[in-house]
Structure 1
Amino acid sequence: MTSLIVCLLLFGFFAIQAQNIQIKGTVTSLEDGEPLPGVSVVVKGTNIGIATDVNGEYSLPVPSDATLVFSAVGMKTQEVAVAGQSVINLALESELVVMDEVVVTALGISREKKSLGYAVQDVNAEQLNNTIQQNALSMLSGKVAGLDVMSSTKIGGSSRILIRGATSITGENQPLIVLDGIPIDNCSTDDGVTANGYGGDANGFGGYDLGNMLNDLSPENIESVSVLKGPAAAIYGSRAANGVILITSKKAKATQRGYGVELSSTLGFDQVYMIPALQTKYGGGGVISDGDGGVNGFEQVNIDGTDYLIPQYQIDEGWGPRYDPNILVLPWNAYDQESFPDDYLKPIPWVTPENDVITFYELGVNFTNNIAITNAGEKHAIRLAYTNSNIKGTMPGSEQNKHNIGLTSSAKISKRIGVSSSLNYSYVYTKGRPQTGYGDNSTSKFYQWNHRQLDYEALKDYQNNDGSQRTWNRIYYDDPTPMFTDNPYWMAYKNYPDDDRTRFYGNLSLSYEIINGLTFKGSVYGDGYTFFNRERSAIGSQATSKYYERVQTWKEFNYEGILTYTKQLKGVNLTVFGGGNIRQTYYTVNRGLTSGGLVVPEIYNLLNSVDLALTNDVTEEKQVNSLFGSAAIDIKGMLFLEGTVRNDWSSTLPEDNNSYFYPSASASFLFSELLEDVNWLSLGKLRFGWAQVGNDTDPYKVYPVYEYDPSGPFQGAPRLAILDYELLNADLKAETTTSTEAGIDLSFVQNRISLNFTWYNNVTTDQIMPLEVSKSTGYDVKWINAGQMTNTGIEISLGLTPVRMDNFEWNFMTNFSKYKNTLDELYEGVDAIDLDWAPFSGAYLRAAEGEAYGQLYTYDFLYDSDGNRVVGANGYWRRTPELVPVGSVLPDYTMGIRNSFTILKAIDLSVLFDIRKGGKYYSVNHMWSMYAGMAEATAAVNDLGNEIRLPVAEGGGIKLDGVTGDVTFNDDGTYTVTNTAPNERYVSGPGYCYRFYHGYGMPSAQSVFNQDFIKLREVTIGYNLPAKILGPIQSARIALYGRNLLTFGVDEKGYDPEALVNGSGNTQGLDGGIYPTNRTFGVNLQLGF
């Protein structure tokens, strides 16, 4: 009996062994023979299976009569019978799969794009990371219809972002930024108060562009960006009146089991390539005071018995003698015998310098490294990333160092409970930001107040042995005291600003599925930073020595709970959610400025002030409580309906008016579902959306508050006083934006052709804005509700795949948007309000009733009925007696064109053009460049072939295009021009240039230009290394990239309209002194393990 049992067991054992065999093999691509990692190999009819490794290999025990199923995304599924085989190698064929596109929508909810009744546009990591930039959002330029991005190329500079134009007259027009559910503050940290006492660089006065807060983000860790426009953003509340930009960071994927490592390294170079066009024929000197005479020459002086020719270094203009190599002059640096004996009393030829202005700027270097470690399992996913970026700017002495640490995680605690979190830390230190505008420390003086014969290599010796400054702009040859301008290298290495910012932001969420279909999610979101910036002017500078510091802190916390219910019925899917949010913000700023100069050199501290330092402290708090809800219905996958409601209660509005309610509704209809027999139509959708969004104001616009009185203590105690010169309003209410949009989405031939069209109309009423009042009231402005602004536009996106073959694919995408902002009405008796003005110019930025928003007002030319400019009896153009509108600073349209190519499935090439048409700007830089004889046009040749700087009697001067005539001004502001004749009078060239300063009576509109440009924004070529040569490395990619490579179509030579960006506020289109545009080249390496 025992022997029988043993025999049976042995028989069973060998039978089982006979039935199960070990199968191994390699799965490759049929097209190129490359191994395919991640292919699912499953025994048909069971859950027995495995995925191929990085080399496409697998090994699996299976029954000898089994059938294996090989499947992978984008590949045709194949079944292979084992039939006793021990090795099965297989080549899979690619399959064109048309998948429903999924996008991230409001509150971070992912939905199929076809179900949305409003316009949403996504940009993925591949498109974003083609070129690594300092500011994450600058990488969106030209990639999203309706998104207008203007980015500075200054180190740590700002990006100005608008979605569908402006909605508020004086309030915030930037969109809300949300990162992984965290509302992120993206304000410009330049608060408009600087050490020079002016209002900052946004309006053309001297100041520093301190950048947006989004400079803190690491672009390498962004997975995708979704842009929500109009009704799509309504559920986010008052801050979403201008749209929402949703940023999703990279996370560990649950499908990637075990540990993973991602490495990337980027080396980039910045090169200044676009500066205002300057004349190269004449050196420095001055014109006689009335502006109509000849050009001054040199001064002859006797030093130690020898006669020398000395230029007018005390005059900072370019009206000196014409270059002549036979003329020897004593340069500015020939008088410092003790410190620089080799240059002492050494004449040099009067010629164009070997090292001109552009050599002042250095080659910028950007070195960025990123590492991310991931781990994922069945119930958890975690990703830890660190990024370090070291930037050497094009401004001498400038640098920036950034550290970013991000930790994202999620876990399934039980079948019904899940948690997720995100914690981020960043530290950014920046030194030597360039000052722009009309300021003491601005390098824009190169183009305004300068000498053209200066050699910038010689200027590098900016101080003597005793530490005193050496500047070309000296009071006299024997008095080295700076007259108007410091040595630019003294500015860079002595008068530099620096700043540092520490920031934490993150979230913690817990979700609980109460019953099937009913889920509660509770979340806490936080964002906070401390920003400390410092400005200095050294003893020995042209301006009084000083030190300025500002410490700004910001904290925001959001507490949110959402209850979501989903139900699937026959042919109908229902999703409903409701929730609440409490938002609390805290803001403080402390400023200090020395008075009367510094006591001890090189000690930059408020205690080193000659007189009592000036200080100022501001504290603001705000809370908004909200309730919101949404219901979405999917009817047979064909008709989608959605509605939302939200009510906010804001602490910044009066108690009786602090509640504001706003709804939204949208619908989409997939008519292509009714046309299933039409094979060439992949998608056909009609959509419509409508929404209202309320918006409040900043704190303390309702009731007066006390603050510290900087005029001094009273009887030894600090004084509190109501110092505000604003008349507050206890009747303020929320402003309201009503958005309507309609559109159609089409795609053809398996999505090889796609077209999206959107029309929209936004109307904002009850604008919260300041209104000027009589000074006799004791106030400057009163806060009111008034005004209505309408914004109507269209957006078009077109995508094509003209060529799709096994080893070559060409994709084309273009975005086009056009809108018109109109200020329909302001306030009874008020036709316009000033938003800002440009210094010295006669140019104002205004919101004017009946005009496009952001209208430039200047003294314009007078024109006859045929459009000819009118020339006065003195030979110069005549101007309007009053300021008149000459155009809005906002563009007529924007456009992006992108071509991308994939070659041999391993090489990719992408080329992006960014186009902007229309919009005006006023250039103080151009005005002074003409006035001071610096601009190329000041050394032009007239229609007789002679230089305009020659006297008119010698054939020089200039004859201005236009007509003479009699001008009659009417009471209504109009005028008529009669008895016209072509102008034949020549006027002094220097006299003409001097009159670019509006105080001399010519039109200030002659320094108004269009903001047109066509930019070769991005070029990238990348190569994905074959998996078979990588060994343990799962993926490897190397790419060369360039950004801002070429700029075409600008209105004024050498002026890049994008360089006008000096902050993210509403003051745009005013150039007080630009910093040149950079182009960027670089290489990026990415590795995956």
Structure 2
Amino acid sequence: MGGEPSTPQSSTPITSTATTPSAATPAPQPAAPAPAPGQGTGATQPGPGGNRTGKVIDRASGTGLPGVNVAIKGTTRGVSTDAEGNFRLQAPDDAVLVFSFIGYRPQEVAVGGQTSLNVTLVEDVSTLNEVVVTGYATQEKKDITSAVTVIQTKELLSVPAANLGQQLQGRAAGVQVLQDNSPGGGASIRIRGFGTLGNNNPLYVIDGVPTRENLNNLNQNDIESIQILKDATSASIYGSRAGNGVVIITTKKGKSGEPRLTFDSYYGTQQPTRYLDLLNTREYGEYLWASKRNAGVVNPANGNPQQAQYGNGPEPVIPAFIVPDGASADDPRVARNPDGTYRNYSIDRFNDPLFGSQRFQITQANAEGTDWLREIMTSAPIQNYNIGLSGGTEKGRYALSVGYFNQEGIIRANGFKRYTLRANTEFTIKNKVRVGENLQLVLAQRTGGFRNEGTEGNGILMAIRMQPIVPVYDVAGNYAGTLGSNLGNAKNPVALLERAGQNGYRDLRALGNVYAEADILKDFTLRSSFGLDGTIAYGTYYGIPEPEASEPVRTYSVRKDGQYRYSWTWTNTLSYKKTFASVHNVNAFVGLESISAFGEFIEGFRDRYYSGDPSLLYLDIGDQATQTNRNYAFNDYRLFSYFGQANYSYRDKYLFQATLRRDASSRFLAAQRYATFPAVSAGWRITGEPFMKGIPTISDLKLRAGWGQTGNQEIGDYNAYTTYAADFDRGGYSLNGNPNAYNTGFAIQRFGNPNARWETTTSINVGLDAGLFNNALEVNLDVYERKTTGLLYTRPRPATVGQGDLPAENVAAIRNRGVDLQVSYRGKALDNNIRYTVTGNFSTYRNQVLELNPASPNEPLLGLGSRLPAVTRSVVGQPISLFYGYIIDGIFQTAEEAAAAPQFPGYNDAEVVINGQRVKGVGKFKYRDINNDGQITADDQAFIGNPHPKFNYGLNVSVGYKNFDLTVFGQGVAGNDVFNYVRYWTDFNTFQGNRTKDVLYNSWTPENPGAKLPILDENDAISSRASSYFIEKGSYFRMRNIQLTYSLPKGFGSRLGLNGGSLYVQTTNAFTITKYSGLDPEITLRNSSATGEDRQLGVDEGRYPTPRQFLVGLNLAF
């Protein structure tokens, strides 16, 4: 009895099964009769701590289950089953073993002196027993009384992306993702609407370390679980930082058992999905001639339009060359040498004295037309590789991983690489003390010049503005451009992007924490954790001469910048967990937390380098006279908090939670520094009542309600103080009276507001959780209201203030009301040969500004203007960032109609030529006179569109048959508008760039009175003003992912140590259904991490489009 332990084959086994198996699951067929749960048969009786062996079997298939957690209840000791489902564990006779595995119902088995225990697990179609991280503690999902959404990691990884935020799109009700699709781009996550006029991004907590850094530095393969805290009841434990919700990310940890090696990879290609239908060279000439004729801009000698490139005939003629202007093939300026080279060719624009008079950058016209969007867009690879190793013993566990991600952009010369290293270890000391660490090191590199920053110099807008007659390269193979007359001022987008291909930055980020926890007394656990999030970044940006451009960069230059930023978090908690009389469950904790953050930026610039060789472009080599530099701290604040939470349940039917947090922030002066954030919630599990026992259809039914407050302090670190900056122009003064000897002084940079206080968001949430048909169908419904008061708002600076910006003040309020619905169904069909899961979510919110600067209640908050003045504005009584402009009621058909309408000076009284006759206003937009004063002025602008969708939705369907699984996931929004800013460049005569085909074929003519665009008119500078013409329907449905997976048969490759694996093929963004005419109906913000970027919500300024991807992936486990 005291010798070697018996094997499962040499002793009589114990079999334990679930007490309430699914009706769809066949009865088990154990090797021996099954005893009552927790009881054994015919076993030997070893002494305390004897060896226990056994096997865990899947009830449906009868095969062993690998990776099942086998733990001694009430301790952290445990192991995992091997590839065949076997386990070996030392446990005392009075121990209870807990068997748990994702997707199966957990089992508890009393050892009772047994040496061999065979356990049968039943698949669990319910997620109610799932353990959820809800802040500084965990709860079973069935006990949660607040609005928490759990995201399955498997679903996230089915969508390949550099940024976790992009993978969250469509996965959770009430969560909206505005994603930057450029390689390495960020994502703006909005939880339950928009609660502030500043930064609406949520708080991210990674392994207990809070951060607001970009999620593109996180390796998604390292993630174990994700929880989204959506209401104040769940998020208030994070107090001041949780006003916009919280995303909790927990990474994988080591488990006891044999070493487990995993390899996960995919490789694929990305493709553009859409292009704009622009004019070719011939059509562009016809457009020019029509615009000139209608405007009466013709040669008085012959009555024909004329243009330097297309001639002066009755019809435009495409020249052989555009540099020199309109040259024919026999023009002596383009004569060739005997070797075929061009005699007068020169590229030395900035040094050749004969350049432009006798020598030229000779460029042939592209008679067919250059499709510039297709020139800058291309297929591009994407690849990802991860290796993980985990294992350990009861005394120590480890999880290690390395990862490599590489995504090249579908817009040329852009890319993102990421290298990751992660380590997690945990050690148990005498069963009462646990110490460990989570550490991630990330090296990220982003290259290229394309940024979604709303600038008209990005590659997409340059491709739209470049005329089709210009080729990519000149006759010598150098970049062609706009040196010729009447070619506009755009820059060759291929040259622009490829020259910027060397630009970019590198980030080295360290993120993690060390912790220790001890069971100091019975039912009490003390935990201390110290976390750090630090980044060192280095960027280099080159200026390269552009001899082909009409407005060129003339010299080599370099700008280099560097920054470091860090935040540390020290958290200490004392938790208590106790059950009284088997019916009263208490779980509580209190804690203290300190946070400190700092960041510093430095930048230097020099110009006039003699060479463009990057190895020579150091700052000290450039012209010292062109030197500029700056250095400042951009992040400097402290936060101190104490908090507590108590959970109580009675018979698992009546659930209560209370939370209190008090924060102090250095961003406010002492009188306003502290704020308190309480929250309470309650739940009633109706199915626990006796009167529900006779309703077998309803497996679980819970009502819950909560109220709570959270805060926001996302303003400048020095908002309370008046700050000054060195300023030679405004603060300089000559102390000795010499006008040539000024001393640099200081000028006000920003006025301080010592009375600023916390924003406060009050949230009310009422929810219903239901499980039907043995929890095969689960429904989660939430109705909520979020109201933010004391909102920190920076008022527009009046001219009377003079220099210096105004501080943020507590003068605004915003409210969001909405509904979140999540539904899932899991089942089997065809004698259990088909397994399927259907998950859907639906959400809607209504946003309203309640208060905005009471001192000037009619003053709107304007959006971010560019060529056009701000096209969005926020006012009291409306949602934030509605589109604003003129309303168009059609097009004038006759001069009489135009004369009788309210007058728009310089527009509907302007002359055009139709069939040789000069008339006024015909073919022009008919603007609505909003105030009925008989004139069209700026006062006649109104709200013309709404960027907020009426609802968001997502649908995921998974079907499995034997070793095959097919997953289909789609997501969409409905009822929102888009302001298509790109039309400013493509549909009007504002600049000398290309146009859409609608401009030529759908502009007003007498033969086309129902056209959507006004008459072509070279002199028209008004039709391009912000108006309802720019508004398009932004609704879309996008097939996000289609994936077919084949799981390797059990036992395949066992001789090589293979313990499982799968092979899959997939396509992402397979198709999109939308009426939007732009490149992509998903409109990201200018900058995903900047404060106030929501003021440009829904404005398409030429954003990076979503690529379609085709991938092959392989996952292996050893």
Give the TM-score taking structure 1 as reference length.
0.80
Answer yes or no: is the 8 Å Cα contact 2:944–2:1027 preserved in 1: no
For the 8 Å contact 2:335–2:342, the answer to whether it is kept is no
1:488 to 1:631, Cα distance in 2 relative to 1, 3 A: same
Residue 615 of structure 1 aligns to which amino acid in structure 2?
Answer: N
Partner of 1:806: 832
Give the structure 1 partner of residue 493 of structure 2: 488
Answer yes or no: is the 8 Å Cα contact 2:723–2:752 preserved in 1. Answer: no
Residues 198-237 of structure 1 deviation map (CA, whole Å, 9 limit, x = unaligned): xxxxxxxxxxxxxxx2111111111121110112111112
Deviation digits for residues 931-986 of structure 1, max 9, x if unmatched? 257443435545xxxxx59xx5xx6565557xxxxxxxxxxxxxxxxxxxxxxxx9
Deviations 1:73-121 (A, max 9, x none): 8599999xxxxxxxx9999796556563324333242211121111111
Listed one character per residue, the Cα deviations across residues 824-857 of structure 1 (whole Å, up to 9, x for unaligned) are 1112223244343332224433221111112222
Q: State the distance in 2 between where 1:772 and 1:637 align.
A: 54
Label 1:39 to 1:811 Cα distance change in 2 as closer, same or farther (>3 A): closer
Instruction: Note the 1:309-348 alignment, pairs <5 A.
Output: 309-310=319-320, 341=341
Percent identity for Structure 1 against Structure 2: 21
In the alignment, the residues of structure 2 paired with residue 346 and residue 780 of structure 1 have an alpha-carbon distance, to the nearest angstrom, of 49
Equivalent pair of 1:131/1:1018 in contact (CA under 8 Å): yes
Specify the code of the residue in structure 1 equivalent to 2:484.
I
Indicate how the Cα distance of structure 1 residues 379 and 827 shifts in structure 2: closer, same or farther if over 3 A, else same. Answer: same
Aligned-pair CA distance for 1:1004: 2.6
1:1050 aligned onto 2:1075: yes
Q: Does 1:922 align with 2:979?
A: yes
- Residue 384 of structure 1 corresponds to 400
Equivalent of 2:171 in 135, 143, 153: 143
Question: What's 1:292 paired with?
Answer: 295
| 2: CA distance, partners of 1:179 / 1:718 | 52
Match of 2:644 among 626, 629, 645: 629
Structure 1 residues not aligned, in runs of 5+: 1-11, 43-48, 61-68, 80-87, 187-212, 321-326, 943-947, 962-985
Q: Which residue is 1:83 aligned to?
A: none
Equivalent residue letter for 1:680: T
The residue number in structure 2 matching 1:372 is: 388
Distance 1:159 1:40 in 2: 36
TM-score in terms of structure 2 length: 0.78
Match of 1:451 among 461, 464, 467: 467
Contact 2:164/2:220 (8 A) holds in 1:
yes
- Quote the offset at 1:672 in angstroms: 0.9
- The one-letter code matched in structure 1 to 2:260 is G
Bigger mean CA offset, 824-833 vs 811-820: 824-833
Q: Which of residues 820, 830, 847 is equivalent to 1:821?
A: 847
Contact 1:441 1:495 in 2 (8 A): no
Deviations 1:463-518 (A, max 9, x none): 958xxx532322359xxxx9623333321222342111111111011112111111
Counterparts in 2 of 1:291 and 1:621: CA distance versus 1, 3 Å: farther
Q: How does 1:683-702 map to 2 (within 5 A)?
A: 683-696=700-713, 697-702=715-720
Matched-pair contact (CA < 8 Å) for 2:323–2:364: no
Amino acid at match of 1:566: K
- Note the alpha carbon deviations across 1:1053-1075, whole angstroms, 9 max, x for none: 54433356643442432333233
Distance 1:99 1:533, change over 3 A: closer
Match of 2:670 among 655, 665, 671: 655
Output the amino acid matched with 2:165: L
Which deviations, in whole Å up to 9, do the C-alpha atoms of 1:43-84 show, x marking residues without a partner? xxxxxx999752568999xxxxxxxx99998599999xxxxx
User: Which of 973, 985, 988 is equivalent to 1:931?
Assistant: 988
Distance 1:329 1:799, change over 3 A: farther
Cα drift, residue 817 of structure 1: 0.7
User: What amino acid sits opposite 2:719 in the alignment?
Assistant: K
Greater Cα offset, 676-685 or 911-920: 911-920
Does 2:251 match 1:249? yes
Q: Secondary structure at the match of 1:372?
A: strand
SS at structure 1 position matched to 2:319? strand
Distance 1:217 1:70 in 2: 31
- Is 2:372–2:493's contact at 8 Å kept on the other side of the alignment? no
Distance change >3 Å, CA 894–CA 336, structure 1 → 2:
farther
Look up the match of 2:1104. 1075
Q: Report the Cα distance in structure 2 between the residues aligned to 1:588 and 1:665, rounded to whole angstroms.
A: 40
Q: 2:578 aligns with which of 551, 560, 567?
A: 567
Out of 753, 759, 774, the position equivalent to 1:750 is: 774
Secondary structure in structure 2 of the residue aligned to 1:448: helix
**1:837-848 pair list within 5 angstroms:** 837-848=864-875
Deviations 1:603-648 (A, max 9, x none): 5444424743232222141101111111111111111101011111
Q: Secondary structure at the match of 1:172?
A: coil
Q: Which amino acid aligns with 1:924?
A: Y
The 3 A distance-change label for structure 1 pair 50 and 463 is same
Contact residue 1036 and residue 1085 of structure 1 kept, 8 A: yes
Q: Name the CA shift for 1:774/1:1088 in 2 (closer, same or farther; >3 Å).
A: same
5 Å-filtered alignment, 1:455-534, equals 459=472, 461=473, 470-476=479-485, 484-496=489-501, 497-534=503-540
Alpha-carbon distance in 1 for matches of 2:398, 2:597 = 30
SS of residue paired to 2:444: strand
Between 597-606 and 91-100, report the one with greater CA deviation: 91-100
Q: Pick from 596, 602, 605: which aligns with 1:590? A: 602
Structure 2 residue aligned with 1:174: 201
Partner of 2:1053: 1030
Matches of 1:719 and 1:337 in 2, distance apart? 61
Q: Does the 8 Å contact 2:281/2:366 carry over to 1?
A: no
Contact 2:1066 2:1110 in 1 (8 A): yes
> How far did 1:362 drift?
2.2
Q: Is the 8 A contact 1:34 1:1026 kept in 2?
A: no
Total equivalences in the alignment: 958
**Equivalent residue number for residue 946 of structure 2:** 888
1:9-48 alignment, distance < 5 Å: 36-37=65-66
C-alpha spacing 1:512/1:567, structure 2 compared with 1 (3 Å): same
Helix, strand or coil at the partner of 1:274:
coil
Q: Does 1:902 align with 2:927?
A: no
Answer whether contact 2:979 2:1098 (CA < 8 A) is retained.
Answer: yes
* RMSD of aligned alpha carbons: 4.2
State the alpha-carbon separation in 1 of the partners of residues 584 and 2 from structure 2.
54
Aligned to 2:915: none
DSSP-derived class of the 2:484 partner: strand
Distance in 2, matches of 1:1083 and 1:512, equals 46
> In 1, Cα distance between the equivalents of 2:727 and 2:119?
80
Cα shift readout 1:725-745 (whole Å, capped 9, x = no counterpart): 432211111111111110111
Map Cα deviations across residues 237-278 of structure 1 (whole Å, 9 max, x no partner). 211110000111112223xx1211111111121111123332
Q: Which runs of 5+ in 2 are unaligned?
A: 14-30, 32-54, 72-77, 90-97, 110-115, 298-304, 346-361, 892-896, 903-907, 909-920, 930-936
Cross-structure match for 2:302: none
CA shift, 1:600, in A, is 4.4
Deviations 1:984-1038 (A, max 9, x none): xx9633569865422xxxx533112233211111111111100122212011111
**Deviation, structure 1 residue 551:** 2.1
Structure 1: distance between partners of 2:429 and 2:375: 61
The 5 A counterparts of 1:988-1027 are: 988-990=1015-1017, 995-998=1022-1025, 1004-1027=1027-1050
More strand by share: 1
Q: 1:424 aligns with which of 440, 444, 448?
A: 440
Deviates more, 1:130-139 or 1:1052-1061: 1052-1061
CA distance in 2, matches of 1:989, 1:958: 13
Letter in 2 for 1:703: Y
